Structure 1
């Protein structure tokens, strides 16, 4: 039986992308549970690996090497990834709250959000300090500071192993660039008290060798912009102050209703919390049955047990117990490519220990860099001759990449007639139709998208913005919309949850655009498809494709590249940060841009036919040509790199066939890339272009002047 077609019946939600959850996602991708819909919630598209943070701070690793790409990992696991920081879990209603979206329902949940080293009680730290955890913000700020110029003063608050590792790494990085003026490690008690005497002496020698000033049994009065003020009145210079003092739980756990120990979630031997359907793992959990210090080794070894027990709770199988080891090998970085190893009081230090630590860390990260390829289902032994050609050599894209090509669509529509209706004005080439009712001009359009992200809220926002594009492109004001939805097969409970998410997101986007959503139609099918039929009112003559004149400037309000990026994401070839940025750009409404461009002579939204295909539509309808300035065309982050590597959307070939005389290659193939919820392309009077461009950028659009209208009907040329 094809398990991918079985109905979804249970929601499993992973809150946080910590080490345990990352390993669970990997195991899930290799063996998913039929009937379970998996969701992972994380503030960003990547989860930094804490074990390599000191090496990154020292300059031994790049930023990319530090990150687990959750976008790629979620795609491999078949999970939807929600980018946002959870702020509350309602264990009574079984809902996880994430700002800016409807609550996410769960049947089973697990929390692995790590810890923070923020110090809210320390005056000035929030304004001038940078917590070492969460790692993402620290890594970005340190990378910028490390590459600066001139003498530098740095300080770490917290004299445990983590603080010592960090200050040694920072001192090494600055010293190797000739910038180190002073590095200081500060602790309110004796430093390095959690490790054995031999290891403590070794680390103290390393601190001295790197020129680190150690301030023990010293309390801090406040953190200032360029110094730390101690309670005894002394000042320690520091332009970069970070905190690595202890492990602090996230504050929102206090309102979770879960049993806590010093703010951490109490779990039993099965890793279940006081609410049986909620698990916790990693540093945010406190093991009541066997208390242990916060260390990544426990998080990693919890993963197989958590993976088994999450499935067991949904299948009724027996659970397993987690048995933590009594001690573990501590491998502590010492700034340069040396490390200290300690276990059971025995300590060894030197380059060999660094090599060992590096191999362990790299082996862990390799699990996520080299995800196993899951084989596609083979074709039946007997099939039609052209089956393989029709399937193609890659999966069909979602969004506009899944649409029919320009020539096929326009060829079909050309034979249709509006009959003798005088209240319909034909607009050749436009996606919307112009209606006249009681003297009121109204435009109507419909559009739907095959899902390319497993998050129905994100997909709904993009689909709504995409459908409204035709209304905005004609200078109309959005009026009303109906939804047309196909949901994958799922239980009635999951249907209700999904519809609530979709309609909540749709209502938000449409109301912000000035329209009302007045109903819709639903059905069940093989995959999620979201569409909207929208209407708009024209208080002034509609902007069509027909008014462009030679000499007009061509303005584009959004960058290109969504088709290539989504195709690459499906294949596991796109960086998560690129995908996240592209999704955000696709969600950007074009209403404000349309109002700025209300005097455009011709306008269209750039969607499935790509920039060149939609420009061709303006040229043919206006009886003009165009010249595109390829060097000025804005591109989405990562799009050019992916195009240069030969990645293309499945609609690319059909779009390219519309203009066979234009020979492009590499990144310039993005001119044919199908866009989903793309920008507006407007032909405007040349003397107005500068001011309009200024207004668009002030309104938050990455707009650009990308070409000009020329003589010659349908003739398009490219220039640098």
Structure 2
């Protein structure tokens, strides 16, 4: 029998900068067996700095200059942790990310860029925005343009720092505001008397002429004393009014590096010719956050790009015991500098080279770089059927699509119903209901105790996040019956891995589970763990309820149907596996899966006639279970069913979960269901940690919906037979 190779090393890439993005792309095409890769980044995307002036000028849209790390991480076989690293415990080899357990590493690399923040300048933090990090700056700039167009902000921009970045931003801002029909006033300030010191005289002359032609005011040899709400104040008291003040002066290191104990040069990680920290062989650093001790270079994206193949080779070498490769940076490089409009200047030799053709040259280079990430190499994710395999293999695999995780990784409803039909009725007097409901119900004092079990095949590479989702999912059955969660037993199957990796993974799983369960009022009492082919996390839960628990039966004609969460998670996660979902779509789905339903259950349970949670068999499947148990029908208003961000887009592309076909086999019980309609198809989409579906008295629905933010009225219960009609 074939067994996947065990995991033996943790590689953590801190930051999604240019170097790490290129490394992840190459790693996906040739991974090192046994290495688990983690990418940590504050957001799901990483902006490409070379196209920032073009974004500010309005030549590019935001998505054109952003590297989407979610499909990139999937391509690389890596887990993506959304968060900002704030420290490294080098003795324990742990990376601290606020809001989650520490992440262990055997090998780490830092590529977190720089900031152009000016913390020592009074008022800067409150009234100005640094040009780096790029993501936050781009957001602030777009907000400012909207305000300026609406007349809510003066179209005046002051840029502090007249280096290449400051000049590009000043010209870009002037162009964008002028194109918006405004009369911009742009001021460029530098404390030095001489500006553009890093470019040759010919290119400097071209840029200075462009500043003059565009009416950009250049103030040199004067320092900014403070920044106020209305603009900048110079030393001596002169006020420079501005609707937006931008900091582009110099490059500052991220402050937390100073706490790591790494050898730093001016706050940047000092690395050797192998890009490795000179006082820690387990840590590398690249890009603007690193200082090349063997050959110091200015901060420029070109070096980050050129470092990528060397870093890749050295990460492989450390992981496999190979030989390190030296990086020798080039002495000079071509600078193509934007001039606001679709013109640029080239800083090469000592010739004046400028014009629209130079911008087209730069545009071609930038777009070519980004195409590497927008068009990732196609990867064959489908299981391969070996020659001589038994008949029926293709049908089980499901058309070559990789198997889905979460609650989409389960047998179909008909298969389960057939198996349950063979069970005898309960023999115990204290078992109040037989199999087929959301949970078993045992007599308990004047009320009842409910017990349920659930487990999920991982749908994310992050064990902490997966544990939170699995716990929320398992709690759904307890909440659906109107019970209060009580105790939990965990069941974990870990992939084969080295013992330190096992310990760290279990710590992350238990931390995530405990956060969710304790917030719901349940305690973890123990559990069981084993190793297997892939990560699976499950929980057995008990809950207590006074009186009679809610079930699937009890639905009455005239009831209103309320759904507390949007649907579409199966489609989105299937798309994520294929690299076709965007980062924001995936993160929104994962966030919704973690959203607890305890408060919603507490609001609904006192009024509901019946309630269930919407999980693997989709909204249509779970609604039909209620209708069959109660002998009634329902009219479902398809347009009012809430959908997750991106679900309709991806369904329109024809993306379906691997459980979809089995769920859709019951479409003949839904009058008006057209499986070619992307919105109707989502009714059969399997959900993981889905919302509660409640049947409530019609006259109580309005008040209940007012108390349930995000919930929706999706239909009405009718007389039987047990069918759904789309209205």
Match of 1:619 in 2: 627
1:427 Cα deviation after fit:
5.4
SS of residue matched to 1:185? strand
SS of residue matched to 2:682? helix
Do structure 1's residue 268 and structure 2's residue 272 form an aligned pair? Answer: yes
Which runs of structure 2 are paired with 1:454-533 in the superposition (5 Å)? 454-533=461-540
Q: 2: CA distance between counterparts of 1:397 and 1:596? A: 33
Q: 1: CA distance between counterparts of 2:570 and 2:384? A: 27
SS of residue matched to 1:301? helix
* Contact in 2 for aligned 1:407/1:658 (Cα 8 Å): no
Moved more, 351-360 or 372-381: 372-381
Q: 2: CA distance between counterparts of 1:575 and 1:691? A: 36
Q: 2: CA distance between counterparts of 1:716 and 1:188? A: 72
Do structure 1's residue 153 and structure 2's residue 156 form an aligned pair? Answer: yes
Match of 2:24 in 1: 25
- Give CA deviations for 1:187-210 in whole Å, capped at 9, x if unaligned: 222332222222122111112222
Q: 1: CA distance between counterparts of 2:511 and 2:452? A: 22
Do structure 1's residue 387 and structure 2's residue 393 form an aligned pair? Answer: yes
Match of 2:191 in 1: 188
Match of 1:704 in 2: 712
Which runs of structure 2 are paired with 1:591-670 in the superposition (5 Å)? 591-599=598-606, 600-662=608-670, 663-664=673-674, 665-670=677-682
Match of 2:169 in 1: 166
* Contact in 1 for aligned 2:446/2:546 (Cα 8 Å): no
Match of 2:541 in 1: 534
- Give CA deviations for 1:18-41 in whole Å, capped at 9, x if unaligned: 000001101110110011111111
Structure 1 residues 269 and 347, CA gap change in structure 2 (3 angstroms):
farther
Q: 1: CA distance between counterparts of 2:150 and 2:514? A: 50
* Contact in 2 for aligned 1:513/1:591 (Cα 8 Å): yes
Structure 1 residues 141 and 708, CA gap change in structure 2 (3 angstroms):
farther
Match of 2:135 in 1: 136
1:413 Cα deviation after fit:
1.2
Q: 2: CA distance between counterparts of 1:639 and 1:378? A: 29
- Give CA deviations for 1:181-236 in whole Å, capped at 9, x if unaligned: 31222222233222222212211111222222222222223323332222332222
- Give CA deviations for 1:672-703 in whole Å, capped at 9, x if unaligned: 11110111111222222222222221xxxx22
Q: 2: CA distance between counterparts of 1:187 and 1:146? A: 24
Structure 1 residues 280 and 658, CA gap change in structure 2 (3 angstroms):
same
* Contact in 2 for aligned 1:189/1:216 (Cα 8 Å): yes
* Contact in 2 for aligned 1:428/1:621 (Cα 8 Å): no
Structure 1 residues 645 and 208, CA gap change in structure 2 (3 angstroms):
same
- Give CA deviations for 1:374-409 in whole Å, capped at 9, x if unaligned: 345642221223222221221111111111111221
Which 5+ residue runs of structure 2 have no aligned equivalent?
none
Which runs of structure 2 are paired with 1:16-415 in the superposition (5 Å)? 16-147=15-146, 148-150=149-151, 152-190=155-193, 191-273=195-277, 274-375=279-380, 378-393=384-399, 394-415=401-422
Alignment TM-score, normalising by the size of structure 1: 0.96
- Give CA deviations for 1:319-346 in whole Å, capped at 9, x if unaligned: 0100000111011111111111113444
* Contact in 2 for aligned 1:641/1:667 (Cα 8 Å): no
SS of residue matched to 1:271? coil
Moved more, 344-353 or 637-646: 344-353
SS of residue matched to 1:696? coil
Which 5+ residue runs of structure 1 have no aligned equivalent?
none
Moved more, 653-662 or 532-541: 653-662
* Contact in 1 for aligned 2:438/2:480 (Cα 8 Å): no
* Contact in 1 for aligned 2:383/2:397 (Cα 8 Å): no
1:588 Cα deviation after fit:
0.9
2:439 to 416, 432, 436: 432
Moved more, 270-279 or 180-189: 180-189
Q: 2: CA distance between counterparts of 1:555 and 1:419? A: 32
SS of residue matched to 1:93? coil
- Give CA deviations for 1:408-432 in whole Å, capped at 9, x if unaligned: 2122212212432011111564221
Q: 1: CA distance between counterparts of 2:625 and 2:640? A: 21
Q: 2: CA distance between counterparts of 1:25 and 1:206? A: 39
1:478 Cα deviation after fit:
0.7
Match of 1:674 in 2: 686
What is the RMSD computed on CA atoms of the aligned residues? Answer: 1.6
